[in-house]
Structure 1
Amino acid sequence: MYKETVTDVFFDLDHTLWDFEKNSALTFEKILSENSVQIALDDFLKVYVPLNMDFWKLFREGKITKEELRYQRLKTTFVRLGYAVSDELIFRLSEQYIAYLSSYNHLFPNAIHILNYLKPSYKLHIITNGFQEVQDKKLRNANIDSFFGQVVNSEMAGVKKPDPLIFKIALQRANALPERSMMIGDSIEADILGAKAVGFHTLHFNAHKEPAHGYCDMIHDLEEIKTYL
């Protein structure tokens, strides 16, 4: 469908190629155990996962800092679970979480396959709101860094998706035109609407079982990208 027009494909990383929820769960399993936190992992994640998404939205909107994000998502989780913890433990868990997260390297099914399929025909890039030191490690440790020409993160750009500037910086660095570029990501707000506003073609990877919408085509498996590219 886009084979004749698209030259550059931009991917989001977390929740699109890199299986954030799976790797995050494995990280929490390790650090909660190491710190003798007496909460079942499933009970912890049931509260933490939606809270983390809420705090990331606040961070994306510039309403909280990176430090506040990392502290408050844990603090609020423990408060809602009625589990008393010291600030010292929260800071330790936060540091360990960042230290260990990128050591788990689970990708979504067919991620490597689709990157190998696309690489000969398109220039591939990453646009991520994740933090540079963590995202670079994820790409390296998952052995997918070699697929991408440009990796643009929000710290480098000074703004976060869906701000048009991060997409414009990515286009400039990739020497690409928006009408010849496609953005593939899981977030309707950050990836799809953000990229569409700048003139990208878009494809929504529905990692969160969201309902149908009219913004762009939706896929549920990365293998489906072959239908479009």
Structure 2
Amino acid sequence: MKIKGITDIFFDLDHTLWDFDKNSALTFDKIFKLNNININLNEFLAYYEPINLNYWKLYRDEKIDKASLRFGRLNDAFSAVDFTVENHVIHQLSEDYITHLSSFNHLFENTFEILDYLKHNYTLHIITNGFSEVQQGKMKNSNIIHYFKTVTNSESVGVKKPNPKIFNHALKAANTPVNKALMIGDNYEADILGAINIGMDAILFDTKNEAINEDVKQINNLIHLKNYL
């Protein structure tokens, strides 16, 4: 069913347009080679990815700071695979990861197709909890930055999704009322509930087909946004 009355669409970036897991894996492969870390990459990633998601939840909930996230997720993952790495090397890997992450720019299937489709009838925006120094590079290097009129970053606002302040800040920057706005993202708590709680419509990008809430509009491929817009 088509959604009526929408003028502005707000996208999350990581895990929604920008394929974080794929780009992250390539980055780790690169920085491990640069730092002579001889570890089984697939085994490391199997532990790192859920650990990283948990650290991001702690960061989103204001329970840890950025430095703790960057160090802790690596330290815990190395511990999980019983691989000893000195603290100064973890700090170096953390810096290298941020430096090289935006050099890999795989997007989810049909990203360009859907953005080209939507841009003719809607004004497009980004709301992201990612680090500001990295997110601009991701959008620029993956050639999608020109699609978006505004980019709202949690670091510049001072709060993270699902805090209503970041959504309200984004709406003000876009100069659009909440009843004409739509949020699209992969995180049920941060993107979907965050938007719904301020009265914004939302669509969950559910690539893992988890069917989190049957009352929430969901897609598993970006091209399926055409069913709603």
State the TM-score bracket (shorter-chain normalisation).
Answer: over 0.9
Partner residue in 1 for 2:134: 134
Native 8 Å contact 2:105 2:142 kept in 1: yes
- Residue 146 of structure 2: SS of its match in structure 1? helix
Deviating more after overlay: 203-212 vs 48-57? 203-212
- Aligned 1:25-64 pairs, distance under 5 A: 25-64=25-64
After superposition, the CA RMSD in angstroms is 1.0
Structure 1 unpaired stretches of 5+ = none
Partner residue in 1 for 2:224: 224
- Residue 197 of structure 2: SS of its match in structure 1? helix
Paired residues in the alignment total 229
Partner residue in 2 for 1:174: 174
Structure 2 unpaired stretches of 5+ = none
- Aligned 1:175-214 pairs, distance under 5 A: 175-214=175-214
- Residue 183 of structure 2: SS of its match in structure 1? strand
The one-letter code matched in structure 1 to 2:180 is: R
**TM-score (ref. length: structure 1):** 0.98
Shift of 1:43: 0.5
Shift of 1:214: 3.0
Q: Write out per-residue CA displacement over residues 141-194 of structure 1, whole angstroms, 9 at most, x where no aligned residue.
A: 001000000100100111000000000000000001111110000000000000
CA distance in 2, matches of 1:136, 1:109: 21
- Residue 150 of structure 1: SS of its match in structure 2? strand
Partner residue in 2 for 1:121: 121
Native 8 Å contact 1:192 1:203 kept in 2: yes
Task: State the identity as a percent.
Answer: 50
CA distance in 2, matches of 1:212, 1:104: 30
**TM-score (ref. length: structure 2):** 0.98
CA distance in 1, matches of 2:65, 2:212: 32
Native 8 Å contact 1:2 1:228 kept in 2: yes
Shift of 1:136: 0.4
CA distance in 2, matches of 1:5, 1:126: 19
Partner residue in 1 for 2:103: 103
- Residue 182 of structure 2: SS of its match in structure 1? strand
The one-letter code matched in structure 2 to 1:145 is: I
